[in-house]
Amino acid sequence: MNNWDDIRIFLAVARQKGLTAAASSLSINHTTVARRLAGLEAALKTKLVTRTPSGAVLTSAGQQFLLHAERIEQEALAAEQHVYKADGTVSGKIRLATREAFGAWLVCPRINLLKRRHPELKLDLISEARTISLLKRDADITVSLHYPSQSRVIVQKLTDYRLGLFASHDYLRECGPVETVDELKNRDVIWYVDDLIDMDEQRYMQRIIAIARQGFRSTNILAQYAAMASGMGIGIIPVYHASQDPNLVRILPNDVEEMRTYWLSVHPEAHDLPNVRAVIEFLGDVVREKKSLF
């Protein structure tokens, strides 16, 4: 009969609703997806997927097979990816999806801690939590800025954190200090690209964005940070990171500050698996280490 790889590819096609999207999610080429899907259909002697101009649609047989495939997936994940070895060692691979700032400034600097604790545990970091679906198995764990809308996932509050205004010493020497909020109307504030921003981000710091001049724009907060550090303008940056940079100065700390929250989410069927728990514990420890900065 079929093997696990064929079932995994079928599940990706069913969840992504297309062969190209499925190939992208699995990091394989479109031809491989088509060939393996055809092989699975031949082995089962039935058509599972119908291709249409708008994507891939499951046939009646495909919908029935999906139920069995999801059960097989759970058994495979438990047996192969999320397992204690005989000596209690945590192994396998976990996919963690986070926002860029959390991944780059909190996870990566301490990733060796996870490696020392669990040498055989592999971590894939996806720096984009907004479009990731736990229910589609795009990731095992997500850390996002909004409370997840998916009702079937387990959610816990990881931490609150503060956003503030920062600028480089060079920028302030060249342009002068900022004494009041009203003075921001004559300053460039670095921000997101307006027509590519999501509503979640659009809600914060609107008072400042409305007052200030439009400066450098980027969809990536790491690029915003680099531009701010180079002296291009004033940035809106998490205090836990920017306050540790000696080249930056916080602006109007008593007047401009916003609280945000990082939410951790996990699929309920994966929550108690050993290596998922190991990564959740690691993230909790990383946050506790930085508690005084949040």
Query: All domains of the chain, ordered by start, with CATH?
Result: 4-81 (1.10.10.10), 86-294 (3.40.190.290)
* DSSP secondary structure, 239-266, as one string: HHHHTT-TTEEEE-TTT--EEEEEEEEE
The two three-digit tokens of residue 189, written as one number: 């504030």
Packed helices 19-26 and 4-16: angle between N→C axes, nearest 10 degrees: 120
* pTM of the predicted model as reported, rounded to 2 decimal places: 0.74
Q: Is the pLDDT of residue 192 over 80?
A: yes
How many residues are given for the chain? 294
Question: Which of 150-154, 222-226, 273-277 comes out lowest in average pLDDT?
Answer: 150-154
Task: Provide the pLDDT for residue 199.
Answer: 54
Most trustworthy range by pLDDT among 25-39, 65-79, 111-125, 135-149: 111-125
**Cα torsion angle, 256, 108, 151, 63, sign:** positive
Q: Are 122 and 92 contacting, i.e. CB atoms less than 8 angstroms apart?
A: yes
Task: Provide the pLDDT for residue 132.
Answer: 76
Q: Is the pLDDT of residue 152 over 70?
A: yes
121 vs 48: CA distance, rounded Å: 35
191 vs 102: CA distance, rounded Å: 18
Q: 31: closest CA among 39, 21, 23?
A: 23
Q: Hey, is 213 helix, strand or coil? A: strand
Beta bridge partners of 83: 91
92 vs 99: CA distance, rounded Å: 23
Q: Is the pLDDT of residue 202 over 60?
A: no
Split at pLDDT 50, 70, 90, the class of 197 is: low
Mean pLDDT to the nearest integer, 134-150: 84
pLDDT in tens, 71-103: 887 777 666 554 555 566 888 889 999 999 999
Which bin fits 142, alpha (ψ -120 to 50), beta or left (φ > 0)? beta
Mean pLDDT to the nearest integer, 51-67: 90
The two three-digit tokens of residue 67, written as one number: 């139920």
Q: Is the pLDDT of residue 241 over 70?
A: yes
Task: Provide the pLDDT for residue 107.
Answer: 97
For the chain, what is the mean pLDDT?
Answer: 88
User: Based on C-alpha coordinates, what's the Rg of the chain?
Assistant: 23
Q: How far apart are the first and last CA of the chain?
A: 53
pLDDT in tens, 124-140: 998 875 667 787 778 89
224 vs 286: CA distance, rounded Å: 24
The two three-digit tokens of residue 233, written as one number: 């303008």
Q: Is the pLDDT of residue 111 over 80?
A: yes
